[in-house]
Structure 1
Amino acid sequence: MTYERRIIGFIDILGFGQLVLDSEDDSEKFDLIKGVLEKINSVDDIYGSPEDFFAHSNYTYLSPAAKKEMDEFYESMKAAAGPKRIRITTFSDSIVFSCSADSEGLTDFRYFLTKLLVYTSPFKLLIRGGITCGSLVHSDQLIFGPAMNNAYHLESKVANYPRIVVGERFEEFVEELEGDPLATLVKRELIRDKNETVSYIDCLDLSTNKVAQNMCGANAYEILLNEKNTIETLIREAPEDPKIASKLKWYAEYFNEFLTRKSEVEVVVSHIQGMPLETVMVPVFDLRVETT
């Protein structure tokens, strides 16, 4: 066993600890916890199933013979990718995932994070996280290394708000892939906080893009409507704690800024044999929330 250079994400579900405490006497909150954890545990990388792997094709509608041929190809690709696939460790309200620090790993990283954001969107919970790159051991039994410590530090000490910040070593890794189309896309999906010199992932953009719709069955407008409901519910139910209020205010302002920047999102309205056939652009400005 030795250290590998890996991309690692440490994600925390905000408010989950209190939800667990309340669930002992509240069956609805118990069911909510169960639903969240089941969804999280079902998140996988692109090799999770043939349907995931062939998401851009009409796999579901193939004949049994054609599907058998595709399945054999899927299994061979899955086996070849084995050592590089996303590794996931979950405990309590935290999710740690890592993948190889190369172009293939960056693809899996982005797909996994997109799927995680889509799957947790309906639950009226916010997430905070840290992403970095560095020396790590991550197996079914063990996870440790400088990169793990760094990712945890970013999540717990740097993020501060409901956002996923990225460390300098992750940004340096992406720069190393200069000329790679995906690396260029990932750089565009980072927001630089000029006041704090911190970079964080544009999670709303990630959860409403075409990958989210094609590979996760997401509806971009519904994702944003979920976030609006989450913000308004948490503001309404939040205790009078200035720290909590500042976090919700920050997220509401980020949400409104995203709506201003996008103005409309593309939504798939019809399919043919599982493939998107028709899309429409749906205005989103009406989803803005009050921040005062």
Structure 2
Amino acid sequence: MTYERRIIGFIDILGFGQLVLDSEDDVEKFDLIKSVLEKINSVDDIYGSPEDFFAYSNYSHLSPTAKQQMDELYESMKAAAGPKRVRITTFSDSIVFSCSADSDGLTDFRYFLTKLLVYTSPFKLLIRGGVTCGSLVHTDEIIFGPAMNNAYYLESKVAKYPRIVVDEKFECFIEELGKDTLTDLVKQELIRTEDETISYIDCLALTTNKVAQNMCGANAYEMLLNEKSTIETLIKDAPEDPKIASKLEWYVEYFNEFITRKAEVEVVVSHVQGMPVETAMIPVSELRVRIP
């Protein structure tokens, strides 16, 4: 066993600890926790299933013979990609995932994070996290290394707000890969703070992109509607705690800035044999959140 250079994300579900405490005497909250954890544990990378992997085909409408051929191709490609697939460890309210520090790993990382964000969106919970790249051991049984320590530090000490920050080691890794479609896209999905000391992932861009729609079945407009509902519910139910208020205020600013920047989103409105064939641009300006 030796260290590998890997991309690692450490994600924390904000408010989950209190939810667990409350669940002992609240059946609805217990069921919510169970649903959230089941969804998280069902998140997989691009090789999660033939339907995921062949998302751009009409897989579900194929004949049994054609499906068998596709399944055989899927299994062979999944086996070949085994060593580089996303590895996942969950405990309590935290999710740690990592993948190889190369172009294939970056593709799987981006897909996994998109799917995680899509899957947790309906539960009215916000997430905070840290992403880095470095030396790590991550197996089904153990996870440790400098990169793990750094990812945890980013989540717990640097992120502060409901955002997923990335450090210079991750950004240097992106630069090392060179200029191509994927790295250009990832760079566009990073937001740098005004003082240029912290970059964070534009999570709303991920949940409304083509990957989220084609491979996760997400509706871009509904994803934003979910977030608006989450914000309004949390504001209504939040205790009078300045720390919680500052986190919500930050997220409202980010959400409204995204709405202003995006103006409209592309939504699939019709399918033929499982394949999207028609889309429409839907305005989103009316989703802007107003703080009471």
The TM-score normalised by the length of structure 1 is 0.99
SS in 2 for 1:133: strand
Tell me what 1:134 maps to: 134
Which amino acid in the other structure matches residue 76 of structure 2? S
Distance in 2, Cα, partners of 1:72 & 1:113: 27
RMSD: 0.7
Tell me what 1:39 maps to: 39
CA contact (8 A) 1:253 1:291 kept: no
Distance in 2, Cα, partners of 1:56 & 1:108: 16
Tell me what 1:153 maps to: 153
Q: What is the CA deviation profile of residues 27-76 of structure 1, one whole-angstrom value per residue up to 9, with x for unaligned ones?
A: 11011101100000000001111001101111111111111111111000
TM superposition shift of 1:291? 3.1
Q: What is the CA deviation profile of residues 65-89 of structure 1, one whole-angstrom value per residue up to 9, with x for unaligned ones?
A: 1111111110000000000000000
Write the mapping of 1:122-201 to structure 2, written as runs, cut at 5 A.
Answer: 122-195=122-195, 197-201=197-201
Tell me what 1:202 maps to: 202
Which amino acid in the other structure matches residue 142 of structure 2? L
Matched, 1:228 2:228: yes
SS in 1 for 2:75: helix
Tell me what 2:15 maps to: 15
Distance in 2, Cα, partners of 1:180 & 1:27: 50
Matched, 1:90 2:77: no
TM superposition shift of 1:195? 3.1
Q: What is the CA deviation profile of residues 254-283 of structure 1, one whole-angstrom value per residue up to 9, with x for unaligned ones?
A: 000000000000010110011001111101
SS in 2 for 1:231: helix
Which amino acid in the other structure matches residue 23 of structure 2? S
Distance in 2, Cα, partners of 1:197 & 1:6: 23
Matched, 1:255 2:255: yes
Q: How many residues align?
A: 292
Q: What is the CA deviation profile of residues 158-210 of structure 1, one whole-angstrom value per residue up to 9, with x for unaligned ones?
A: 00000000011000000011122111100010000113620000000000001
Tell me what 1:5 maps to: 5
Structure 2 residues without counterparts, runs of 5 or longer: none
TM superposition shift of 1:136? 0.1
Which amino acid in the other structure matches residue 69 of structure 2? E
Which amino acid in the other structure matches residue 197 of structure 2? T
TM superposition shift of 1:21? 0.3
The TM-score normalised by the length of structure 2 is 0.99
Distance in 2, Cα, partners of 1:160 & 1:195: 16
Distance in 2, Cα, partners of 1:150 & 1:180: 27
TM superposition shift of 1:16? 0.0
Tell me what 1:269 maps to: 269
Distance in 2, Cα, partners of 1:188 & 1:43: 24
Distance in 2, Cα, partners of 1:60 & 1:148: 39
Tell me what 1:61 maps to: 61
Distance in 1, Cα, partners of 2:57 & 2:5: 33
Which amino acid in the other structure matches residue 141 of structure 1? E
TM superposition shift of 1:290? 1.2
Distance in 2, Cα, partners of 1:76 & 1:180: 27
- Deviating beyond 4 angstroms after TM superposition, the runs of 4 or more aligned structure 1 residues are none
CA contact (8 A) 1:178 1:184 kept: no
TM superposition shift of 1:120? 0.2
Distance in 1, Cα, partners of 2:256 & 2:249: 11
SS in 2 for 1:234: helix
